[in-house]
Structure formats: structure tokens, C-alpha cells
Chain A
Amino acid sequence: DTEVTQTPKHLVMGMTNKKSLKCEQHMGHRAMYWYKQKAKKPPELMFVYSYEKLSINESVPSRFSPECPNSSLLNLHLHALQPEDSALYLCASSQVAAGNTEQFFGPGTRLTVL
């Protein structure tokens, strides 16, 4: 399996809802990432997990809460989001969290916050 998978593909939620995004990889990668991508912009790094430990939080608001239950899974818990949080949320993985390793992206979850 050489892919990163994400569920759901689309998500519409209200500002008071709680939802979760899921990401999975079975390539044996030990680094996993969450990115946010707005239309016509590059992906913007949110979080990095290395060996299941949070290594980077790019000053992301606490309404986004990441979780890495094991080396294959990555979740992003969402609570009390704002309409401006609507975006494509991409998960990625790499063999290790080092600067010169290829990152493989999942297909993303298109999130709409009403």
C-alpha cells in the first residue's frame, strides 16, 4: 500500500459541532503531517508528528486538536470552528521527519463550516 487515505472526503459542519478528520498510511512512515489549503494557495503546515509524538504546532488555534493513536493513524479533532476555517485539509506522511524526505499527501477532506 503506497497511499495515504483520508476520511471523510467532504464535511459540512456548524460552528457548534464537534467532528474528526481521519488519516491512515501503511507505508511504515514514522512522520505524519496536517496541512490546511485554501483555494489557489499552497498547503500551509499545521502539525507534525514524529514517532507518534507532536513535534511541531504551527501556532494553530486550540479549536483544532491533533491526535496520533499509533504510527499508522492521525486524527484531527474539530470543535467550535469558524467559517474562515473552511478549506481543504491534507494529511501527509514521510519515512522520517527529516528535511530531505519525500512527503506523500492524502486526497484531503474538503471542510465547509457554516
Chain B
Amino acid sequence: GENVEQHPSTLSVQEGDSAVIKCTYSDSASNYFPWYKQELGKRPQLIIDIRSNVGEKKDQRIAVTLNKTAKHFSLHITETQPEDSAVYFCAANKRSSYKLIFGSGTRLLVRP
């Protein structure tokens, strides 16, 4: 069935360093790839998304890249800050489906 694998499960970086989280999807029909940030006790919030007709998208310190051939997509956070500490979930979906397929999550810790 459809599956999204996410790595690493935990990531600890020094403030100011970059963080990269990687996801791999199984369904080649997937064409929408959102990333959600969930702080402790809070709701998942969309931070960036990418559709399959582009290879990269940036929003300030956050970027997402997509490699459709390899079925990989990655989240890049530059100049990390303590407030970036949270759990990050990648997800994949396709036009014909209502269902977001989530990765297992990455707990990011930014050390001051």
C-alpha cells in the first residue's frame, strides 16, 4: 500500500546550524507533499508544501526539494533557532485521494 518513510526520527542541532529531514514515498501517483510542524501540545501547522510540477520551493529559512524520479522529498531549515524545536511530519497525497499519508515524524531539537 501507500507508504511514506521519514528519517531521522530525532535530530539535534546547534542553534544557527542547518537541519535536513528526508522522506521517501511509494506511490508514484503522489503529487502533493506538505510538511507540518507540531509543537508540544499544539496542532499540526503547515509550514511549506510542494507540488510535483516543481523541484524546489523556498520560504525564508525553510525550503523543500522534490526528486520525482527517486520519489524523495526533503525539508531544509537554515539558521535554526530554538523555536524551530518541534516534531515535523512529511506527508504525501494524490489528486484522486482524500487521504494524506504521513511519515512517522522527526523530533527536532535546536540547542541554544
Contacts and interface: CB of A to CB of B under 8 A. Distances in A.
Interface of A: 31, 33, 40-43, 45, 48, 50, 55-56, 58, 90, 97-108
Contact of B43 (A50, A97, A106): A106
Query: Binding site of A, secondary structure by majority: helix, strand, loop or mixed?
Result: loop
A105 B49 CA distance: 15
Contacts of A41: 104-105
Interface in B43-65: 43-46, 49, 51
A32 to B, nearest CB: 11
B100 A45 contact: yes
Interface residues of B, number: 26
A42 B104 contact: yes
Nearest to B6: A42
B51 A100 contact: yes
A105 B96 contact: no
A31 B87 CA distance: 26
Interface of B: 31-32, 34, 36, 42-46, 49, 51, 87, 89, 91, 93-100, 102-105
A59 to B, nearest CB: 13
Contacts of B95: 98-100
Contacts of A48: 98-99
Contact of B32 (A42, A55, A100): A100
B31 A100 contact: yes
Contacts of A99: 31-32, 93-98
Contacts of A31: 98
Contact of A105 (B45, B51, B87): B45
8 contacts: A41-B104, A42-B91, A48-B98, A90-B44, A100-B51, A103-B46, A105-B44, A106-B43
Given A90-B44, A100-B31, 5 more contacts: A41-B104, A43-B44, A99-B93, A102-B49, A107-B42
A107 B103 CA distance: 20
A107 B43 contact: yes
A56 B98 CA distance: 8
A108 B96 CA distance: 27
A55 B44 CA distance: 23
